[in-house]
A and B are shown apart, each in its own frame.
Chain A
């Protein structure tokens, strides 16, 4: 049994990803790679709820901010190790997600999406006015302790590996969910909620499981952001734009697919950073216009995302190939194996 083409390609990509900091030493390239990985991780985490369970949340920044603020405030006030703080941040977000789910899950479709915006907005208002959380000014993490223990580094490479590790962890969790009975239940809830209920699936419970997992991993991403930037404020970790970006990454790549958000993150973050670098300096919002036009274009013309588009293209190519294989000799009854050259135009 030889490994499939797909797993070989996956292995090659993984190896290249791990070794990237040795390949490029340019801080700006590495920073772009970190941004891609962090966006991908958030997209994968969002996808657990938005893609697999079909619950479109536009308030996930609340969990991201909870993660970032929990680890940072515990570090600043009690000197708690950020690794522990990160886990606690995830726990706080998962716990808060119970309230989030309780207040939003009885709503469907648009109602749900808007309620999630409202919840995230409330969280943002609270942190903007909470003095111990630095209110609108934000919180700064000191650089005096460095190294893997303190999760503060002077160069980019360790952050890159951290982001990569977190992405892999989130992907593994999603993969495990996808293959377990939870994954089947979630798909049933998404596609046929009434049928799912009628065969006895506890819809509320499984939506909540997806939400809590999603919140947990989103919060880990928030803590990592805080440790990387060493500064957080409501605008950077709690904004609606951030919630939207998490969803956008999944949608662009393809919702409800394991690697869709990763593809989406690569494309979206690269475009975002490139346009910012080329047009951002003008201060006239040209980069925003390009970014927005892309969003509209993708949403209108590729509603199933890049992965969906790629699969469609593959299908079409396979169909074409089959057609061409069958077409050249329409009159003759197919006898035995088709010769390999039968796809050529006639005989010379």
Chain B
């Protein structure tokens, strides 16, 4: 019985951790390429959720069906945000950068509240619902699909970065901006691309969450802090690191909740996070 609960918890931790990883991948990529921490990253997730909600509510299109469309919309939005705002603060002091993206966070939440009201919304009757029993563990079907979807998207990003010319250019810019520029890589284009991909990943996470998580303007707040922890632990700029760190954070969170009560689950993650930073300031998987 206890072993069963433990396994059950472990599995749900891995599943939510995959979502954290997907949110964190974009964050870490933006940071890796241009040294900017995007506080508004949770809002990309929120926009992804609302996009799938409205497509479902207005046209009865299932979130999973509209996933590619939503991801494309978020990709465009991320690029646009870069061209309109972020491009102007690349060489600004860190403080202005923090406050620009922080202001964007409040701004997007405010706009969402203005357009769609602060109510909690949910998607009822999507393709995935109920639960399945796998090897003796009961798993929610939406959570399972979300976890698998997160793996798929992460794998796609990984493939893009390691197997395509554009991905290689992006990695080159992250490794050494000046050298990449000398090789004829336009860094502004790469920055815009990183913002597009980052927003698309977080948006995809939002779509996958939308089938089982309440949708409201401030929903991003639930994910951004943990995504920061994931980015830190995985090492700033490392996509693979973020993937494993995301799973780790998910597992620690649910385990902490199981042992100390759900109200302390975030605190457990944060305490461990600080402890790790003390001994490895470059993160668990980051290079020294």
A125/B266 contact (C-beta < 8 A), A244-B102, A303-B93 known: yes
What residue in chain A is nearest B108 (Cβ atoms)? A292
A286/B225 contact (C-beta < 8 A), A111-B277, A300-B85, A300-B88 known: no
A27 at the interface (CB under 8 A from B): no
A–B complex contacts, Cβ < 8 Å, 7 sampled:
A110-B94, A111-B281, A122-B270, A129-B263, A285-B109, A292-B104, A295-B106
How many residues from B make CB contacts under 8 Å with A?
45
A311 at the interface (CB under 8 A from B): no
Interface residues of B in 244-288 (CB under 8 A from A): 263-264, 266-267, 270-271, 273-274, 277-278, 281
* A284 and B117 contacting across the interface, CB-CB below 8 Å: yes
B113 at the interface (CB under 8 A from A): yes
What residue in chain B is nearest A128 (Cβ atoms)? B263
Bits for A98-125, please: 1 = Cβ < 8 Å to B, else 0: 0000010011111101110111011001
* A110 and B236 contacting across the interface, CB-CB below 8 Å: yes
A121/B117 contact (C-beta < 8 A), A107-B277, A115-B274, A296-B100 known: no
Residue in contact with B107 in the complex, picked from A118, A128, A292, CB distance below 8 Å: A292
A263 at the interface (CB under 8 A from B): no
Residue in contact with A295 in the complex, picked from B37, B89, B99, B277, CB distance below 8 Å: B99
B95 at the interface (CB under 8 A from A): yes
Set of chain A residues within 8 Å of B68, measured between Cβ atoms: none
B167 at the interface (CB under 8 A from A): no
Set of chain B residues within 8 Å of A118, measured between Cβ atoms: 225, 228-229, 270, 273-274
What residue in chain B is nearest A294 (Cβ atoms)? B103
What residue in chain A is nearest B228 (Cβ atoms)? A114
A255 at the interface (CB under 8 A from B): yes
A289 at the interface (CB under 8 A from B): yes
A289/B267 contact (C-beta < 8 A), A114-B232, A296-B85 known: no
Interface residues of B in 85-119 (CB under 8 A from A): 85, 88-89, 92-100, 102-107, 109-111, 113-114, 117-118
* A291 and B267 contacting across the interface, CB-CB below 8 Å: no
Set of chain A residues within 8 Å of B270, measured between Cβ atoms: 118-119, 121-122
A289 to B109 CA separation, bound complex (whole angstroms):
8
Known A111-B281, A285-B217, A300-B85; further 11 A-B contacts with Cβ < 8 A: A117-B225, A118-B225, A118-B228, A122-B274, A125-B267, A248-B99, A292-B109, A293-B107, A296-B107, A299-B100, A300-B100
Set of chain A residues within 8 Å of B236, measured between Cβ atoms: 110
Main secondary structure of the interface of A (DSSP, over half): helix
A125 to B114 CA separation, bound complex (whole angstroms):
29
Q: Which residues of A contact B (CB under 8 A)?
A: 50, 56, 58, 103, 106-111, 113-115, 117-119, 121-122, 125-126, 128-129, 244, 247-248, 251, 255, 283-286, 288-289, 291-296, 298-301, 303
A288/B267 contact (C-beta < 8 A), A111-B277, A300-B89 known: no
What residue in chain A is nearest B274 (Cβ atoms)? A103
* A299 and B266 contacting across the interface, CB-CB below 8 Å: no
A216 to B271 CA separation, bound complex (whole angstroms):
24
Q: How far is the CB of B94 from chain A (nearest CB, A)?
A: 6
* A121 and B94 contacting across the interface, CB-CB below 8 Å: no
Set of chain A residues within 8 Å of B88, measured between Cβ atoms: 300-301
* A115 and B277 contacting across the interface, CB-CB below 8 Å: yes
* B281 and A285 contacting across the interface, CB-CB below 8 Å: no
Residue in contact with A126 in the complex, picked from B89, B92, B103, B267, CB distance below 8 Å: B267
A288/B110 contact (C-beta < 8 A), A56-B94, A126-B267 known: yes
The 7 A-B residue pairs with the shortest CB-CB distance, nearest first, are A295-B103, A292-B107, A288-B110, A285-B113, A292-B106, A296-B103, A289-B110
Set of chain B residues within 8 Å of A50, measured between Cβ atoms: 95
* A110 and B37 contacting across the interface, CB-CB below 8 Å: yes
* B264 and A125 contacting across the interface, CB-CB below 8 Å: yes
Q: How far is the CB of B223 from chain A (nearest CB, A)?
A: 14
Set of chain A residues within 8 Å of B110, measured between Cβ atoms: 285-286, 288-289, 291-292
Residue in contact with B96 in the complex, picked from A110, A293, A303, CB distance below 8 Å: A303
Q: How far is the CB of B19 from chain A (nearest CB, A)?
A: 20
Set of chain A residues within 8 Å of B89, measured between Cβ atoms: 299-300, 303
Q: How far is the CB of B210 from chain A (nearest CB, A)?
A: 22
Set of chain B residues within 8 Å of A251, measured between Cβ atoms: 95-96, 99
